[in-house]
Structure 1
């Protein structure tokens, strides 16, 4: 396996690599492959910088954070254990976030989530990834970038070693691996071309759905939040009332999950919620001869809602929007934010 040994042109590989692993252009990190000692290089990132990395001459570490935005976010699992990165990837997938696993230069793994050329706000990406890590029980895992923004105390941030260092690729290190087998993909360039990038709007949805707040905003939404007081108790918000009363034709799974979240907020026991949702399913009218949501899926969605601290209302979710009421107290609160 060779980081440059494919039919693609060298310029094409550099361009493809740089579209994923780029950040600050006036500095980068590197390390001694023998001793492991790392340091910062205050020089421009050039095509030669990338080529030296891919050819195994000098490793390249990318400072991901640029003006509060990042093209990628990385979790650094430093143990030779397949479970943590696999659990992270599965949980990210649950939220619709494509994550990809790299065997790092040492014994552990990196899990990468990529964004478009404009990147995403680092504060949003870090908030979502930290929430996923907390949900799977690995909240102490390092996340890159390590900051939400740069300031006088953190002029550069922290670099993360980029994949595909030519000196380690033949040793099956710094390569992306198949999550099913943890064997390297046979053609890393084909793999990169197949990578899906996440959208910043999806981060917004996840943040809202889980009621997340950054540390500067006080963490998770407090239990005495005025919006929750106005929409909890013994009533459902108008959108949920309509979904429950009339059933749905589309997005049965998402609608089931949202109803379960509301029922949990109201204090209904798990078994009562499951029974109510099984009755609700009979009202659904999926098109084209499709069947209504199955009991097994209802159990899965209800368990997901009850096992985690979801607090969001999903107002921007395509499954919820058709049922929104402009006079809903949640809508009023959102306008005031």
Structure 2
């Protein structure tokens, strides 16, 4: 897993050792293909190609294999390509790249090629980000501005569908996928400081999307640009700041700047020191914790100061959620509030550490809801919201709009054990809290005691039928 295949190393060495040459639309196909492979370098021993089922209309990508649909050797319904013992993957060649650029293979059939960015030694030559939401142009504009502020070259390609865009960043040498993804995550974090509408799910749209190569897999893929058929619709092409295609795509690519690894390391190191890469609640394996001894006991790193105008006072509405009016909030403060109700998904890091696929496992779980005039956060975030405003010098008041519930006249018929009494008293003193105790401690009994003390109807939510029966019984 930690060494490149022989064919991969040989192909990449040949490409890297050749001098760069200016290419334009009148250049030969060989010169264009050479430039293309020099920039969009991924796995060379295998590539994904797009398919579209004539029966079901299903579309997707599969690794190109010489034994595909061979009845004696290929059974996709039972065995995934990455685990197939009969697989015979086809390598990237000048011919296949030529098919992609023309849009047709040797049989004149439609051909769309992708690339696996994550190499077998868990490095990559580029980082790509996918923007495909309704307002993708606004998101891209904001992200590219963050890149310019750091003098980082980044290039926008309109996707094949025309309904989104890919931003590409190229490296002078292969760097670790983890380092590349930290760079992308930091730039997204900085972008959301002034453009929070981008959304926390943007962290899931990095290519490569893993630090490590999953067992039996290749990591995620991205469709290559300049696909022949899509270009006829002005899609799959690179765009200028006005979202217009460059007149000569090849001349544009000839002048692409690549980023030195030392520059990436410098930016990431600076970001970690100034508040972290993602700046949401961490998990123990969180990638920002390369220097865990520098993290305070609160597990919160110091965040950069807000430079935008701040309101003098804010009224917080406490209902089924904690509501904060949006009218007086700037983008930076909005972003801080959204991140209070977000945390890094431990399942993502667990799967990555075990070299399992992270497909459809969100890296960040966000619990904030954006309404027309308010931001809604879980009620348990109230104290953190007030702490944030207090640190920023903003006065707060809380308007309680909660439903008081229906009074219940019930009595606790049991008796708390000595070890249960301190826990029960501590829970009674707070409106929100968590009782964590060992099995057989009697958490259900403590809960019943609290219901009697509160004297109000109570919703009990459990994840197993056995626990529900236990509550009914007691």
1:49 matches 2:96: yes
Deviation at 1:222, TM superposition (A): 10
Deviation at 1:209, TM superposition (A): 0.9
Aligned in 2, Cα 1:217/1:95: closer, same or farther, shift over 3 Å?
A: farther
1:12 matches 2:31: yes
Residue 157 of structure 1: aligned partner: 219
Aligned in 2, Cα 1:60/1:216: closer, same or farther, shift over 3 Å?
A: farther
Residue 103 of structure 1: aligned partner: 158
Structure-1 separation of matches of 2:184 and 2:208 = 11
Q: 1:31 aligns with which of 50, 60, 63?
A: 50
Q: Answer yes or no: is the 8 Å Cα contact 2:24–2:250 preserved in 1.
A: no
C-alpha RMSD of matched pairs (Å): 3.3
Q: Answer yes or no: is the 8 Å Cα contact 2:24–2:248 preserved in 1.
A: no
Q: Deviations over 1:44-74 (max 9, x none)?
A: 1111110000001111100011111111111
Residue 286 of structure 1: aligned partner: none
Q: Answer yes or no: is the 8 Å Cα contact 1:85–1:109 preserved in 2.
A: yes
Q: How do residues 1-337 of structure 1 correspond to structure 2 at under 5 angstroms? A: 6-32=25-51, 36-41=59-64, 42-57=89-104, 58-66=111-119, 67-81=121-135, 82-106=137-161, 107-116=163-172, 118-137=173-192, 138=198, 139-141=200-202, 142-152=205-215, 155-179=217-241, 181-211=242-272, 212=276, 218-220=286-288, 225-226=293-294
Deviation at 1:94, TM superposition (A): 1.7
Q: Deviations over 1:290-336 (max 9, x none)?
A: xxxxxxxxxxxxxx9xx99xxxxxxxxxxxxxxxxxxxxxxxxxxxx
Q: Answer yes or no: is the 8 Å Cα contact 1:64–1:70 preserved in 2.
A: yes
TM-score using structure 2 length: 0.45
Structure-1 separation of matches of 2:307 and 2:164 = 39
1:171 aligned counterpart, secondary structure: coil
TM-score using structure 1 length: 0.62
Q: Answer yes or no: is the 8 Å Cα contact 1:213–1:221 preserved in 2.
A: no
Q: Answer yes or no: is the 8 Å Cα contact 2:24–2:249 preserved in 1.
A: no
> Greater share of helix residues, 1 or 2?
1
**Aligned residue pairs: how many?**
233
Note the residue ranges of structure 1 that are not aligned, 5 or more in a row.
230-261, 272-303, 309-337
Q: Answer yes or no: is the 8 Å Cα contact 2:186–2:268 preserved in 1.
A: no
Aligned in 2, Cα 1:114/1:144: closer, same or farther, shift over 3 Å?
A: same
Deviation at 1:227, TM superposition (A): 8.7
Structure-2 separation of matches of 1:12 and 1:223 = 46
Aligned in 2, Cα 1:222/1:73: closer, same or farther, shift over 3 Å?
A: closer
Q: Deviations over 1:118-166 (max 9, x none)?
A: 322111110111122123233312111111121415x311110000000
Aligned in 2, Cα 1:31/1:226: closer, same or farther, shift over 3 Å?
A: closer
Q: Answer yes or no: is the 8 Å Cα contact 2:47–2:92 preserved in 1.
A: yes
Deviation at 1:170, TM superposition (A): 1.2
Structure-1 separation of matches of 2:286 and 2:293 = 12
Aligned in 2, Cα 1:9/1:222: closer, same or farther, shift over 3 Å?
A: closer
Structure-1 separation of matches of 2:284 and 2:48 = 29
Aligned in 2, Cα 1:213/1:270: closer, same or farther, shift over 3 Å?
A: closer
Aligned in 2, Cα 1:80/1:15: closer, same or farther, shift over 3 Å?
A: farther
Q: Choose 16-25 or 89-98, whichever is displaced more.
A: 89-98
Deviation at 1:39, TM superposition (A): 2.2
Bigger radius of gyration: 2
2:118 aligned counterpart, secondary structure: coil
Q: Answer yes or no: is the 8 Å Cα contact 2:48–2:63 preserved in 1.
A: yes
